[in-house]
Amino acid sequence: MSWLTYYLGLFPGLFLLQRDVTCKEYQKVDMIIKLQDTVILKCAYPEMGKMIQLSWEKKDGDAKHKIAVYNPKRGEKIFFPYNQSVTFLSSSISGDIKLKATAADKGLYQCSINTFPEGVLLKHIAVIDPAKFPRSRAADNRVQIVPGNIMTLSFGYPNVDSIKQLTWQRMAGEEISIIVDITPSQSFIGYDYKRRIQFIKSPDQNISLTIENVTTNDVGVYSCHIDTNNGNWTKTFDVDVEGDIKMFLIFGAIALGSLVLVISVVTIICVWRSKKRKANNTQFQKGTTERHNQRRANPNSYTNPDVYDRPNSRDMEYQEEAIYANL
């Protein structure tokens, strides 16, 4: 089933979704991040088709500034001056980069992935001033998820004639992910949620959002905001991992960390012992060589223990016992 069919009937006359959204200062924004000393820009490769090349750029009006490129065959390249502040995180194929940011790094960033046969995949991230980053509000409902299952969030709103705008978004830490942003004239689905969501408006004025195959990365505060001719409504959901599974993940992480620590300590001890043994062998060989050289240089020297300890036969010949006789 095509992902477009999930949205039929959302608004009267709205049947096709266009990749467009207006978000105050920026357009086509999939994620909003608060400016910090270190900013993580995420562009997870969805493994749709074969990756040909992945690239990062910063958009300044109509101009684009190259940041980094990753090619599966040729590796990665980071362009000046970002080679002083940008690094790829772990596996370059994921596309995530770390930016040591300053105030000059505010702006709109674009990640593009050329794939075959899917074509070009685009993700846009806005890095904004901390003062403009919205604050989270208290959740109206709490929802627990099980990784691998389906999560459904429902929002019932008063019966009104028309909806001017409807937005679902997720806040986690210092970043906001846009899930959907829909108006009667345009629609937008976030990069990280394509092919993974169902969005249905039922006749009883109930709007539900369903996300398939949820993971621990889907934890956060979700909010649904509806703007109508008669007022605005917002509902929030605090989504967390189910208790038992959460404890399992915590204990699993602790066990893994302990195992890594033990392995590290054992490795350090083994390396230290190996170096110490090697140093002792080297010292022993050095001392043996020095004694050998001393013997060759002066065989009669008292520093030579073999010579020093050897009895002197000439001295022993003259050591005679005195004999006394009475005549």
Provide DSSP, 218-249. Answer: G-EEEEEEEEETTEEEEEEEEEEE-HHHHHHH
Instruction: Count the domains in the chain.
Output: 3
Residue 56 shares a structural domain with residue 106: yes
- Residue 251: strand, helix, or coil: helix
**Domain enclosing residue 233, as ranges:** 1-17+140-241
Residue 43 shares a structural domain with residue 113: yes
Residue 4 shares a structural domain with residue 153: yes
Residue 221 shares a structural domain with residue 304: no
Look up the CATH number of the domain holding residue 84.
2.60.40.10
Report which listed range, 213-217, 268-272, 289-293, is most confident.
213-217
Higher-scoring residue by pLDDT: 203, 29: 29
Residue 191 shares a structural domain with residue 173: yes
Average pLDDT over residues 302-312: 49
Rounded to two decimals, the pTM is: 0.66
Q: Left, alpha or beta for 269 (phi > 0: left; psi -120 to 50: alpha)?
A: alpha
- Convert the pLDDT of each residue in 93-136 to its tens digit: 778 999 999 999 999 999 999 999 888 999 999 999 999 998 87
Residue 3 shares a structural domain with residue 55: no
Residue 174 shares a structural domain with residue 237: yes
Cα torsion 8, 13, 19, 25: sign: negative
Residue 173 shares a structural domain with residue 224: yes
Q: How far apart are CA 93 and CA 95, in angstroms?
A: 5
The answer for residues whose C-beta is within 8 angstroms of residue 260's C-beta and 6 or more apart is: none
Does 249 have pLDDT greater than 80? no
Residue 31 lies in a domain: no
DSSP E strands: which ranges in 30-118?
31-34, 38-41, 50-60, 63-71, 75-78, 86-88, 97-100, 107-116
Residue 323 lies in a domain: no
Residue 322 lies in a domain: no
Give the other-Cβ count within 10 Å of 301's Cβ: 11
List the alpha helices (DSSP H) in the chain. 243-297, 305-309, 313-317
- Convert the pLDDT of each residue in 130-185 to its tens digit: 999 988 788 889 999 999 999 999 888 766 567 788 899 999 989 999 999 988 88
